[in-house]
Chains A and B, each alone.
Chain A
């Protein structure tokens, strides 16, 4: 996708040399207008390395980049819930509407909080296309019908919330030693509360079993769940350390720990819904 091309441009050595100040980098990014938000991922991430995230952040990522990635995801979520609530797809007074109103409120608060704290460094909101180029019709704009639209709306909400949880987690190490770590953790757990509720509304467990996206989730959302099957935590195989578990120990071990998404993984997911002009 074009987003990758864009990211590659920003991983050029010129941009990541130490002599380039953060302000200069963002000045450069600013000239790309709408696309700037996309480019705000941690520069070290864009190379697509699968190396240990924490180590990579210390070498390359900066807290501003991490927070702008977070802001981009919050823009996406807030815009999604706003349009969902305006679409007429959700029945007034239904559980779904009550939940979506709370989700919108929080994501909007997160946007404001991050914009306020980033100040001049805050990226602009990209333009979103929640049909992902026509693949979905979550707001019943193209005549899919209320029932199908709502099913897609809930499926996308689940994907966005589970992505948010994993993406924030992936940036945490990059915020160490800054005043932003704690607020980021506090947003991260709110996203997890959201994810649990949406999953439960959809008839799933509130937690992720292995790398299963769950019934009714479009295959396009599988990257949100890839890697969740991990059972090795800090070198310990957590599927075999406990006795007396109920049911399948590997299921339990994968449920008990959420995994990170790297910055480029998170951007790749979000980019499905971002309009890029080139």
Chain B
């Protein structure tokens, strides 16, 4: 099950706003091979959303990965359509649940204040429930076919110092903010109103978490909804899958692919 860390190759843009920071960041990332991630990402090229921008950026053709070892089992692909998005969310919830599980076994937690232990306990509970719910929801959506549900991933949390309050809370903040951005960026890729509403029920809890962690890190400040993440229109972050995997990828050991994630539907 445990595989060596492989490269992440970002092949295709799926950003929907040509003027957004994410778009620019994405283009900068295009074609780069980033080491340290188990995620191979290539989005569907058939219906790339083009906002009709004035500066067309040549999109690199996704080259089929030559299979160096035909005996190697094929990596799990998140899938297409709503199931793909739900598997994508499941990967993040698995990571968050694994992180808080590890935190609760570490020295920071053991010596933390009652308030901070309570927050960590709650976040652990919520992420475990989100993970288990998503798995059940996907299984239901694919008619019980386990092969279409993201398997249990292996994570590498060695970069987190579980005895350090700062390391734990900074990582928690990064993961919670990433979760918010990921759900915000995935909502308009969903076809089902039911799943959209459920994703909405989860993302606001992730945002409550992010706010609380930020508040623990800097209590008498505006960081709970800081200017580092909320833009000048009062809008929270949103991430494309490529950006999410750039952040979360270094924690993910098990290789999987995201070749068929749907594009946003903005009606234009």
A206 contacts B by Cβ under 8 Å: yes
B residues 199-234 in Cβ contact with A at 8 Å: 200-212, 215, 219-222, 224-225, 230, 232-234
Q: How far is A187 from B235 in the complex, measured between Cα atoms in Å?
A: 5
Contact of A182 among B184, B209, B211 (CB under 8 A): B184
Please indicate the chain B residues that have their CB under 8 angstroms from the CB of A54 in the complex: 193-194, 196-197
User: Is A206 a contact partner of B209 (Cβ separation < 8 A)?
Assistant: yes
User: Is A182 a contact partner of B187 (Cβ separation < 8 A)?
Assistant: yes
User: Given the known A-B contacts A195-B208, A196-B207, A207-B205, are A246 and B125 also in contact in the complex, defined by CB atoms under 8 Å?
Assistant: yes
User: Is A185 a contact partner of B207 (Cβ separation < 8 A)?
Assistant: no
User: Is B129 a contact partner of A258 (Cβ separation < 8 A)?
Assistant: no
Contact of A245 among B129, B225, B268 (CB under 8 A): B129
Max chain B Cβ within 10 angstroms of own Cβ: one of A186, A205, A258: A186
Chain A's nearest CB lies how many Å from the CB of B129? 4
User: Given the known A-B contacts A98-B222, A235-B140, are A188 and B200 also in contact in the complex, defined by CB atoms under 8 Å?
Assistant: yes
> Which of A26-34, A106-114, A132-140 faces chain B?
A106-114
User: Is B16 a contact partner of A182 (Cβ separation < 8 A)?
Assistant: yes
Question: Chain B 232-259 against A: per-residue CB contact (8 Å), 1 yes, 0 no?
Answer: 1111111000000000000000000000
A57 contacts B by Cβ under 8 Å: yes
Max chain B Cβ within 10 angstroms of own Cβ: one of A58, A245, A253: A245
Chain A's nearest CB lies how many Å from the CB of B191? 8
Q: How far is A193 from B230 in the complex, measured between Cα atoms in Å?
A: 10
Q: What DSSP secondary structure best describes chain A's contact surface?
A: helix
A2 contacts B by Cβ under 8 Å: no
Q: How far is A247 from B120 in the complex, measured between Cα atoms in Å?
A: 12
Contact of A101 among B222, B230, B264 (CB under 8 A): B222
A residues 95-145 in Cβ contact with B at 8 Å: 95, 98-99, 101-102, 105-110, 112-113
Max chain B Cβ within 10 angstroms of own Cβ: one of A169, A196, A200: A196
Q: How far is A173 from B128 in the complex, measured between Cα atoms in Å?
A: 26
User: Is B188 a contact partner of A182 (Cβ separation < 8 A)?
Assistant: yes
Residue of A nearest to B237 (CB): A186
User: Is B130 a contact partner of A192 (Cβ separation < 8 A)?
Assistant: no
Please indicate the chain B residues that have their CB under 8 angstroms from the CB of A109 in the complex: 232-234
Question: Chain A 184-203 against B: per-residue CB contact (8 Å), 1 yes, 0 no?
Answer: 01111111111111001000
User: Is B196 a contact partner of A99 (Cβ separation < 8 A)?
Assistant: no
Question: Chain A 63-105 against B: per-residue CB contact (8 Å), 1 yes, 0 no?
Answer: 0000000000000000000000000000000010011011001
User: Given the known A-B contacts A189-B207, A236-B133, A260-B201, are A197 and B215 also in contact in the complex, defined by CB atoms under 8 Å?
Assistant: yes
Chain B's nearest CB lies how many Å from the CB of A116? 9
Residue of B nearest to A107 (CB): B234
Q: How far is A165 from B200 in the complex, measured between Cα atoms in Å?
A: 9
User: Is B196 a contact partner of A197 (Cβ separation < 8 A)?
Assistant: no
User: Given the known A-B contacts A109-B234, A207-B205, are A256 and B129 also in contact in the complex, defined by CB atoms under 8 Å?
Assistant: yes
User: Given the known A-B contacts A172-B197, A194-B225, are A186 and B236 also in contact in the complex, defined by CB atoms under 8 Å?
Assistant: yes
A234 contacts B by Cβ under 8 Å: yes
A-B contact pairs, 6 of them (CB 8 A): A173-B196, A189-B204, A192-B208, A207-B209, A245-B128, A260-B201
Interface residues of B (CB under 8 A from A): 16, 118-119, 121-122, 124-126, 128-133, 136-137, 140, 180, 183-185, 187-188, 190, 193-198, 200-212, 215, 219-222, 224-225, 230, 232-238, 264-268
Q: Given contact pairs A177-B267, A236-B136, enumerate 12 new A-B contacts (beta carbons under 8 Å).
A: A168-B200, A169-B201, A169-B204, A176-B188, A182-B266, A185-B183, A185-B184, A187-B234, A193-B225, A195-B208, A233-B133, A252-B126
